[in-house]
Amino acid sequence: MANPTLTVTYNKAVYAPGETITATVAYADPDTKTVSDVWQATNANGDQATITVSRNVVDPVTIVPPAGYTKVTGSDTGSQVVFTRTA
């Protein structure tokens, strides 16, 4: 199984005291699985139609920021989350 990946981008390189630091975390989990469902319909004459539908299942990823950061946007099933703190 592969490990999740993440990158962190800050909105600035240098901050003055009291400024808001914004950290954007992009993440991915390469371990997706496929779930396939086979659906079938049969009429009174015995005629049948079948369809197979496949969907990806992605493991949730939890991002744990350093102390002092507050989550602003994003979700554990998305691919990006934004945190802020005061410099």
For the segment 24-82, what is each residue's pLDDT rounded down to a tens digit? 999 888 777 888 999 999 999 999 999 999 988 877 788 899 999 999 986 555 788 99
Q: Do residues 62 and 76 lie in contact, with contact meaning Cβ atoms separated by under 8 Å?
A: yes
Predicted local distance difference test score (pLDDT) of residue 48: 95
Q: Judge residue 83's burial from the number of C-beta atoms within 10 Å of its C-beta, 0-12 exposed, 13-18 middle, 19 or more buried.
A: buried
How far, in Å, CA of 83 to CA of 21, rounded? 8
Query: Model's pTM, two decimal places?
Result: 0.67
Predicted local distance difference test score (pLDDT) of residue 46: 93
Predicted local distance difference test score (pLDDT) of residue 61: 82
49 backbone dihedrals φ, ψ, rounded to 5°: -130, 140
